[in-house]
Amino acid sequence: MGADGLVLDAEAWAQVLTGLYGPVSTRVDPGEGFRAAVRVRELGAVRVSAVRCPPVEVRAAAGPCDESAARHHLALVLGGELVLDQAGRTARAGRGDLVLFDTGRPFRLRPTAPWNAVVTAHLAPTPPTPSSSPPPPLPPGGPERLVARELPGREGVAALVAGFLAGLARDATPYRPCEELRLGMVVTDLVGALRDQWLGEEDPAPPVLLPRIQAYVLRHLGDGGLTPDRVAAAHHISTRYLHRLFQRQGLTVAAWIKAQRLERCRRDLADPHLRRLPVYAIGARWGFANAADFSRAFRTAYGITPTCFREGERVGVGEPAVRVRSQPRISARSANDSHATPQQTQR
């Protein structure tokens, strides 16, 4: 497939659209020899398509839906005009405009100019796994407010999103899988930032979102690569939005993760069944790759080194070995009381 994309006739075009949007019906001008060009890039959980086509009509059609397929699609018009009918609204996106649509509900999509160029980010949800159950990319109530509303991509976050998608449409560089995954995370983060701007800074988060994120963190505490960026990407939100969720509880993401890891380490150090496990190994078990960093963090939090704590030394006369100095306030106290997974216990 070249930089300009694969040239398709009407039948092949309909098959490509079904792969991108799920069951759809298409209608083209029967009087002309139809030709369209398409190029698709797989970027981790995100798919980006760049198309050039004459006027065509695309409608949602009845048929079985793939639960792992993209549902929300953010389109940038590079040339021509894109008309979207959905949720009782009609959006007319011209060159440089962005528009979001939801293929989980009825829609009609019409590129109307003699030639139209559109690049689209298809935001596929991550398939659920035993250790991960991510929420949809958009919060409840969000899609109804966002779909079928054209947004000029000429300033602010919208300009950043438009510029990045336009660059992907032009780029034919063969990236390595790890680079493709990272690019997909960038797309997700940019779209999340744009969504935050659309919904407004004070838009309330779904009440289940923060507990779900905290549960995800607890399941992955032993992974030293667990970062706010990764947590945000796993839940299809921007890193900035993730930080704001924790700030509303008086927390920071990194401090909360560290507090949970230290608490697990404290419990393991006090467990007589784990006496043969070296102190540094307990730290590594819960995400502290560097023994010195673990010892320093433990002493800062509890006022005693992990080795001294294990040996049962006291801090002052008649005082317990542990005095919490600076643990961040934790809204989900039950998180500390949850049990480690069998996989973590067996490490």
Structural tokens at position 220: 């992955």
Q: How far is CA 264 from CA 217, 253, 322, in A?
A: 13, 17, 14
d(CA 210, CA 216): 10
Q: Whole-model pTM?
A: 0.56
Per the DSSP assignment, residues forming a β-bridge with 173 are none
Q: What gap in Å lies between CA 229 and CA 234, rounded to an integer? A: 9
pLDDT tens-place string over residues 251-285: 899 999 999 999 999 999 999 999 999 999 999 99
Per-residue pLDDT of the chain (347 residues; tens, 9 = 90+): 334 567 888 889 899 999 999 899 999 876 667 899 999 999 988 999 999 999 999 999 876 655 556 788 999 999 999 999 998 899 999 999 999 999 988 999 999 999 999 999 998 654 443 333 343 444 444 545 678 888 888 888 889 999 999 999 999 899 999 899 999 989 988 888 887 777 654 455 566 788 889 999 999 999 988 989 889 888 877 787 788 888 877 889 999 999 999 999 999 999 999 999 999 999 999 999 999 999 999 999 999 999 999 887 534 433 444 444 444 444 443 344 434 443 443 33
Q: Which residues pair with 93 in a beta bridge?
A: 82
Tokens describing residue 118 = 């559109």
- 3-class SS string, 85-131: EECCEEEEECCCEEEEEECCCCCEEEECCCCEEEEEEEECCCCCECC
Tokens of 187: 């797309």
At 329, list the tokens.
Answer: 């306030």
Cβ atoms of 253 and 231 closer than 8 Å: yes
Please, which residues bridge with residue 50 across strands? 39, 119
